[in-house]
Chains A and B, each alone.
Chain A
Amino acid sequence: MKYTLAKQNYKKETFLKIFEFAIQTKQLDEKQILSIQNDIFEIVKVLTLTYTKKRSTTITAKKFKQFMKSIYYVLDHLIVKYQDPVFELKNSNIKGLYENGIIILNELYDLLEEQIKKLKSIRIITNNERYNDIFDRQLPYFMALYDIDYRAYYCGYDLDYPLIDGIPLYFDMYHLEGIDLVLEYTKRLMIEHTFCTYFEEKDKVTLFAAYELQKGITMEFIGINFLEVILMQVLFNMLLDKQELSIIVNKEEALYIQKMIYQKDIKTIIELMYKKLSTKIHERSMYQYLCKFREDFTRRLEIGKEKDSITDLIVFFDGSKEIIHFKEPVLSDSEYYMTVIESVQRNNDVLERIFIILNSKLSLYDYIDLLDANILSRKDYQCFFHQIDIHSIALLLKKTYPEEFLFNQNVFLDKQFVQRLEKDKQWKEVFCEVLLEFTSQKKTEITSIIRKML
């Protein structure tokens, strides 16, 4: 009987499965079985001796299992290459098969290295932690620490930047291990990145900034898939009569899209979107990959329609929304800082002292140092906080109490909020008092400035 490999699911075929099949169907006689077993034993013995530097033939049971698993992993890669694997088992030397398997794994390693290099060249510029971790830590460390001899099956990293169909290690998505898993992940990541390269970097940066602003959350810490954000915009754009693929939608266009979605059936809309998309994407494999999002997108639109929140799904650019970019303040040199402090200390008049501080070229962190230094009186603090503009107040508030503004959450400068703030220094007490004295309009302005800060 000939063992037929399941072509579609060939990655599930293992050396052990084929060996067991050959034994059960009595295609191998006892002598051949013993010879195969002895060959495997010899391989594991050689591995053990190289591992212990020929000092001992004893290893822990855990290490032994690792070696065995690694040997089978290597043999698995070779066995799927043969038309009749049982015939190969009968007639080949297992040691030779193992050596050829190592060569195949080395080739895969080179392929992966090349793939990662290509991916790095088209990497998206973002501050997203998970995404950057994949490129800066997980993939390079996997490459550096990958051990073909002793732990070929092992991948010690989560690969936790989600792809459009999820995180690979969750639920053992691809049923793969070791280098196969990483290779599959990078292959999919490559398709996603190739699609992302269709759009200008400038557009992507604007889209992500608008996304943050609209959702009220920074991209830094969230487990987001960039293709998902981009693809949704592209699909919405398909409803507009644009000649080229685009990710930019303005407010009027967003309202038009919303109107269209409400007028028609969701399935018709999705059909239309993907039909148009198929005409614009010529690579079939990429189009098929993008279709993985179809089901999820349909569900989102259905929920959006049900809850009347379609516009929340579209990232659009409202002209009235401004983004404030504050450069990280640089500390002044200590000599200059000391001269300012000395001149402040020399003066007795409150207004003059504040005048010196405000006209100095101190940065925000210097201001905080100066406030912490306890050289000003309560009156000085009051005068100082009334003199500085609302932008500085907002910045000071965000830098002093960063824990209150995590993930760009909305805050209201009401009595309850101010009472909650830490007041371990005199200036902080005065600062809180001054905050309460502000008019409600001024408070709203301050909070809106904080939200616009990135």
Chain B
Amino acid sequence: MKYFIVKNKDINKDFLAIKDLNYELQQYGLELSEKDLQELRTAQRLATRKYKLVDLDDQIIFTIANILMKSPYVRYDNYVLLIKGFIDTYYACRSRFQSQLYDDEVVTIMFQCYLKNYGEINMQLIFNVLQELEKTI
């Protein structure tokens, strides 16, 4: 079966979203370009495909970017890479706990575990997040 699905790529909307985000990021000395956003969207698509999921929105990228800017481990040059890692971890956890928790809740728990894991994104982090999520549910 063919699925005629395309996401509405509203250029103005993207521009405004990035402008809003960058306004916040400036306080931490960080920045995201439209090219970065494209890259993150590709990472999101790859992660959903990897975990056999479908995400109908890209809001999760902004949620992750918003929370990660407060991390002490983030630098100007590894910010996009960290978001990509977070996106992958997020979908790894989502494939396990589908729609039982709000997106924001999952990201907050992930961020707490990330801080406890000394800013490392690895299997240990996924394991810790899953344990925490299980406790929350």
Digit string of B97-125 for contact with A (CB within 8 Å is 1, else 0)? 01111110000000000000000000000
Digit string of A81-120 for contact with B (CB within 8 Å is 1, else 0)? 0000000000000000000000000000000000000000
B residues 1-39 touching A (CB-CB < 8 Å) = 1-8
Digit string of B64-101 for contact with A (CB within 8 Å is 1, else 0)? 00000000000000000000000000010011001111
Q: Which residue from chain B places its CB closest to the CB of A71 in the assembled complex?
A: B3
Residue of B1, B5, B56, B98 touching A60 (CB-CB under 8 A): B98
Contacts of A144 in B (CB 8 A): none
Q: Are B6 and A41 in contact (CB under 8 A)?
A: yes
Q: Are A48 and B103 in contact (CB under 8 A)?
A: no
State how many angstroms separate the Cβ of A49 from the closest Cβ of chain B: 8
Q: Are A44 and B53 in contact (CB under 8 A)?
A: no
Contacts of B48 in A (CB 8 A): 58
Which label, helix, strand, loop or mixed, suits the secondary structure of the A interface?
A: helix
Contacts of B59 in A (CB 8 A): 57
* Tier of interface size on chain B: 20 to 34
Q: Is A173 an interface residue (CB 8 A)?
A: no
Q: A48 with B56: in contact, given A19-B4, A40-B5 (CB under 8 Å)? A: yes
Q: Are B52 and A45 in contact (CB under 8 A)?
A: no
Q: Are B52 and A61 in contact (CB under 8 A)?
A: yes
Which label, helix, strand, loop or mixed, suits the secondary structure of the B interface?
A: loop
Q: Complex Cα distance A38/B8, Å?
A: 7
Residue of A41, A48, A58 touching B91 (CB-CB under 8 A): A58
Digit string of A14-47 for contact with B (CB within 8 Å is 1, else 0)? 0010010000000000000110111011001100
Q: Are B52 and A60 in contact (CB under 8 A)?
A: yes
Contacts of A41 in B (CB 8 A): 5-8, 56
Q: Is B57 an interface residue (CB 8 A)?
A: yes
Q: Which residue from chain A places its CB closest to the CB of B2 in the assembled complex?
A: A16
Q: Which residue from chain A places its CB closest to the CB of B5 in the assembled complex?
A: A41
The 6 closest A-B pairs by CB, nearest first: A52-B99, A64-B54, A57-B57, A58-B55, A57-B56, A61-B52
19 cross-chain CB contacts under 8 A: A16-B4, A37-B4, A37-B5, A38-B6, A40-B5, A41-B7, A52-B98, A55-B100, A55-B103, A56-B99, A57-B57, A58-B53, A58-B55, A61-B52, A61-B53, A61-B54, A64-B54, A68-B1, A68-B5
Binding site for A on B (CB under 8 A): 1-8, 48, 52-57, 59-60, 91, 94-95, 98-103
Binding site for B on A (CB under 8 A): 16, 19, 33-34, 36-38, 40-41, 44-45, 48, 51-53, 55-65, 68-69, 72
